[in-house]
Amino acid sequence: NAGVTQTPKFQVLKTGQSMTLQCAQDMNHEYMSWYRQDPGMGLRLIHYSVGAGITDQGEVPNGYNVSRSTTEDFPLRLLSAAPSQTSVYFCASSYSWDSGNTIYFGEGSWLTVV
Amino acid sequence: SQQGEEDPQALSIQEGENATMNCSYKTSINNLQWYRQNSGRGLVHLILIRSNEREKHSGRLRVTLDTSKKSSSLLITASRAADTASYFCATDAVSSNTGKLIFGQGTTLQVKP
């Protein structure tokens, strides 16, 4: 199993551009989520999904869209990039929404908005 | 928002010493998890402790949970240089039915050879 795969690893965007961070997992996990990590802020939940066709907002959803058309994929879209979205983004998955499950993280996507 | 807060923010010790990190949270929880993050990498699950448990062990790791104080500690015994990493606690909320985990800001541990 590859686990949780994120692409791209690094990306530089200009303000106002849009892009999609891809996330795929091959563990047949129901629960997927996106976090951003900023210095001194820990990880903050952007959006999450408890199953195909179901998504919901986390702590910091503004400026981001998600969709979950398949169990495997959970892309994160930046609609109009802003410098405040410069961050490291992590996709994660777990077997179900129960918080007693282990969360598996991708390796991260480093995004810089100039 | 409910968030775990780790203490200390940074810790530097010599190889062989024990390292203790603390996590405090605000509201009642179902579960608390500890994760480790090596520099430039994703987070890796270490251990989960449920609200009805007080202590758990996994190898050189010992986690305690005090729900009355809303706090948890992670002890790494006989530390090694390879333990150098950031450590995060993550908590859910009893009121949440979505399993959302909220992460703290982390403790950065440096183990000197």
Task: Classify residue A73 by its DSSP letter.
Answer: B
Give the chain A residue whose CA is nearest to the CA of B106: A42
Measured distance CA(A82)–CA(B101) in Å, rounded: 26
Compute CA A13 distance to the chain's CA centroid, rounded to the nearest angstrom: 17
Answer yes or no: is pLDDT of B98 > 70. Answer: no
8 A C-beta contact, residue A34 and residue A101: no
Nearest C-alpha in B relative to A58: B100
Handedness of CA A54, A58, A63, A25 (dihedral sign): negative
B57 at A interface, C-beta within 8 A = no
Query: What residues of A are in contact with residue B97 (Cβ under 8 Å)?
Result: 97
List pLDDT tens digits, range B6-65: 889 999 999 999 999 999 998 888 899 999 999 999 999 999 999 999 999 999 999 999
In the beta sheet, which residues pair with residue A37?
A: A43, A88
Q: What is the pLDDT of residue B27?
A: 86
Model pLDDT for residues A8-58, shown as the tens digit of each residue: 999 999 999 999 999 999 999 999 999 999 987 789 999 999 999 999 999
Q: What is the pLDDT of residue B95?
A: 64
Euclidean distance between CA atoms A34 and B105, whole angstroms? 17
The SS3 call for residue B77 is coil
Whether A1 has its CB under 8 Å from any CB of chain B: the answer is: no
Q: Report the residue of chain B nearest A51, measured CA to CA.
A: B98
